[in-house]
Structure 1
Amino acid sequence: MDNADYRQNFTVQYCFPGHNASCKKDVRTGPGYIVLFVFLSCVSVCTVFLNVLVIISISHFKQLHTPTNLLILSLAVADLLVGMFVMPVKIMQLTDSCWYLGNMACIIFPIINGLSVLSSLCSLVYIAVDRYLAISDPLHYSSRITVFTMSVCIILGWSFCFLYVVVYMYFNDHFLPYQIYTRCHGECLVIIKYPWVVASILIFFVFPCSLILVLYSIVFHVARRQAKAVRAVVNGALSKNTGKVSSSSETKAAKTLGIVIFFYFAFWIPFYISSLTVEKLTTVSMVWTVFGWLMYINSSMNPLIYAIFYPWFRTSVKYIVTFKIFKSSSSRFNLYKEH
């Protein structure tokens, strides 16, 4: 009996036992993997839930139909794709090495993965540009940046990301016949060549990081200058109280921008820096898995950074969870009123 159990434990398992070229099956069921599975599953559910709240809020309430909120909506849609499609598949690959979704899904999934991540990053850049325009030229902002203009920019941004992902996959031989770019049946493997790793770092890391840093630095500088101007013209008994308010606004702006920049760099830098140390990246490599998940988790943090800090979001969530949005006049509720 003991010998039988010993042989059973060391029997090679295959993804598709009836297929001659089937991959070997590696099921990870240790305590560490169970904890990791539960944690990442919770992250996926929270990512979907938070981004759905953002999407419902901005889509339903007419008061939120503004150019800036369209960017938050675009960001939430991209992050929703990550939480709804990318994370569950990646969790499945962590617990079971086999690919059960078929050849076509193996071709489509990396495209959805790349599109959702890059569109999320594109939305972050748009938000930085929008805040820069709003604070640098507030008088002409509302006339130049309209809902239609912002919608066109968002469509162009998503289109560029989709085109780049398709070209990226094409030149990395992703669209070759299934038998060529997989080693066995039951595997979904994407190999990224080193020149394209460098190209991605330049296009989707160095440039966006530099732009976001420069724009946020200008925004913070202008905000501080405006706060000093307000304090300079205030005198008498009100000067002390106003100075406190201005200082508080300064501090809040600094913290918000600091959080944005910190999470952006914390989740993106490790993957791109480490990817330069290898000649090729594959979707089964530890580098791709660990640091790739940091980028995915960023999709759960974005709604917290860009939406939950807004008072209107907290108000809209109350209406959603209490089912008040089903009232006929709910779309015209005032979300900015003071309670």
Structure 2
Amino acid sequence: MSITAYQHNMTSTAVQYCFPEDNSSCIKEVRTGTGNIFLFILLSCISVCTVFLNLLVIISISHFKQLHTPTNLLILSLAVADILVGLVVMPVNIMGLINNCWYFGNMACIAVIVINYFSMASSLCSVMFIAIDRYIAVNDPLNYSIKITVCKTSVFIISGWFLFLLYIFIFLNFNGHLLPSQIMVICHGECVIYVKYPWITVDLIVIFVTPCSIILILYSFIFNVARRQSIAVRSVINSTSNRRRARVSFTSETKAAKTLGIVICVYLACWIPFYLSSLLVENIYSFSVLWTVLAWLVYINSFMNPLIYAIFYPWFRASAKNILTCRIFQSSSSRLNMFQENF
């Protein structure tokens, strides 16, 4: 539908434009009312909480030396990706829900789109690396410290981010979103994501099917190893000298398996509806009801991640307490013991 035909269908007395002086301006729609105000407040709270929780994770792992481990480095990577969602992606989309006009130009639109895709892709990359890390830790615990180091983990994180960033630029370039001159716009004042149908399939395979398959396969191995360990624990449980060690080992690995299982379930619940619908709709644009609901379901995953990965662990509760009480500003606070409880 052309912009002229679209404007003709609107009630003449209620028509407002994003840029009144521009004949090609989009029609302005400002959403008010009690229900909309409640929705904006709710989404704003989710955005603030996403930033706050992920910031706690970032400060905790960065500040306390005891938390400088390969696994926590992956959690830090996940928190950085998720905080971008709460800091940039969510506020921009909230503004879009309040007022559908985009006033910041094509360059800012491109930047927001890149940050949007990059934060989602890097979050997924971190989740996949965490699954790999947990698989090695459970399957080969004796050699884990040799195979997985902080340096190697850093290289994997940087490499993963670079590859996903390269894919994002290729994806946006072929869909006409990389350069201001390439951006497809129906009217002046919109920031729209149009995806060509072949690239929907490519994106589905690269961003969803392949990583999820890897995560599910690794988790199935972790579950089997945990089950074998439970059998081994029962076989040595009568030995007084080995009883506590066996129970601690079994509890640790079981917790890792359960935590990863929760992550997978939440991740799939947030992402499956979006990708299933993307196969049925050729163009998903920023201010449609369908896009809004499905996109926010994905964004909420960034709010849930710090809860799943961090709040369930005693070390995070201990570090958060030290941060919120400002103990981190004391001398030698970085060497405080975060593992006073059994982890």
TM-score by length of 1: 0.91
Equivalent residue, structure 2, for 1:36: 39
Equivalent residue, structure 2, for 1:20: 23
The one-letter code sitting in structure 1 at the alignment partner of 2:283 is K
Report the CA distance between 1:95 and its aligned residue.
1.2
Q: Is the CA contact 2:226–2:250 (under 8 Å) kept in the aligned structure 1?
A: no
Equivalent residue, structure 1, for 2:64: 61
Q: Give unmatched runs, 5+ long, in structure 1.
A: 1-7
Mapped to 2, the partners of 1:138 and 1:252 lie a distance apart of: 15
Q: Is the CA contact 2:169–2:178 (under 8 Å) kept in the aligned structure 1?
A: no
What are the equivalent positions in structure 2 for 1:81-120 lying under 5 Å apart?
81-120=84-123
Report the CA distance between 1:227 and its aligned residue.
1.8
Q: 1:174 to 1:246 in 2, by over 3 A?
A: closer
Q: 1:45 to 1:177 in 2, by over 3 A?
A: closer
Q: 1:243 to 1:170 in 2, by over 3 A?
A: closer
Equivalent residue, structure 2, for 1:131: 134
Mapped to 1, the partners of 2:341 and 2:183 lie a distance apart of: 62
Q: Secondary structure at the match of 1:192?
A: coil
Among 70, 73, 78, the alignment partner of 1:70 is 73
Among 170, 174, 190, the alignment partner of 2:193 is 190
The one-letter code sitting in structure 1 at the alignment partner of 2:106 is N
Equivalent residue, structure 1, for 2:5: none
Equivalent residue, structure 1, for 2:227: 224
The one-letter code sitting in structure 1 at the alignment partner of 2:196 is K
Report the CA distance between 1:28 and its aligned residue.
0.8
The one-letter code sitting in structure 2 at the alignment partner of 1:113 is N
Q: Is the CA contact 2:233–2:247 (under 8 Å) kept in the aligned structure 1?
A: no
The one-letter code sitting in structure 2 at the alignment partner of 1:327 is Q
Equivalent residue, structure 1, for 2:319: 316
Q: Which moved more, 1:38-47 or 1:225-234?
A: 225-234
Q: Is the CA contact 2:54–2:82 (under 8 Å) kept in the aligned structure 1?
A: yes
Q: Is the CA contact 2:64–2:336 (under 8 Å) kept in the aligned structure 1?
A: yes
The one-letter code sitting in structure 2 at the alignment partner of 1:280 is N
Report the CA distance between 1:246 and its aligned residue.
8.2
1:233 and 2:199 equivalent? no
Q: Deviations over 1:102-149 (max 9, x none)?
A: 221011110010000110000000000000011111111101211110
Q: Is the CA contact 1:13–1:24 (under 8 Å) kept in the aligned structure 2?
A: yes
Q: 1:285 to 1:163 in 2, by over 3 A?
A: same
Report the CA distance between 1:178 and its aligned residue.
4.7
1:265 and 2:260 equivalent? no
Q: Which moved more, 1:87-96 or 1:226-235?
A: 226-235
Q: Secondary structure at the match of 2:319?
A: helix
Q: Secondary structure at the match of 2:164?
A: helix
Identity of aligned residues (%): 62
Q: 1:147 to 1:241 in 2, by over 3 A?
A: closer
Equivalent residue, structure 1, for 2:51: 48
Equivalent residue, structure 1, for 2:172: 169
The one-letter code sitting in structure 2 at the alignment partner of 1:85 is V
Among 274, 278, 303, the alignment partner of 1:300 is 303
Report the CA distance between 1:279 and its aligned residue.
2.5
TM-score by length of 2: 0.90
Count the aligned residue pairs.
332
Equivalent residue, structure 2, for 1:155: 158
Equivalent residue, structure 2, for 1:286: 289
Equivalent residue, structure 1, for 2:335: 332
Q: Give unmatched runs, 5+ long, in structure 2.
A: 1-10
Q: Is the CA contact 1:271–1:287 (under 8 Å) kept in the aligned structure 2?
A: no
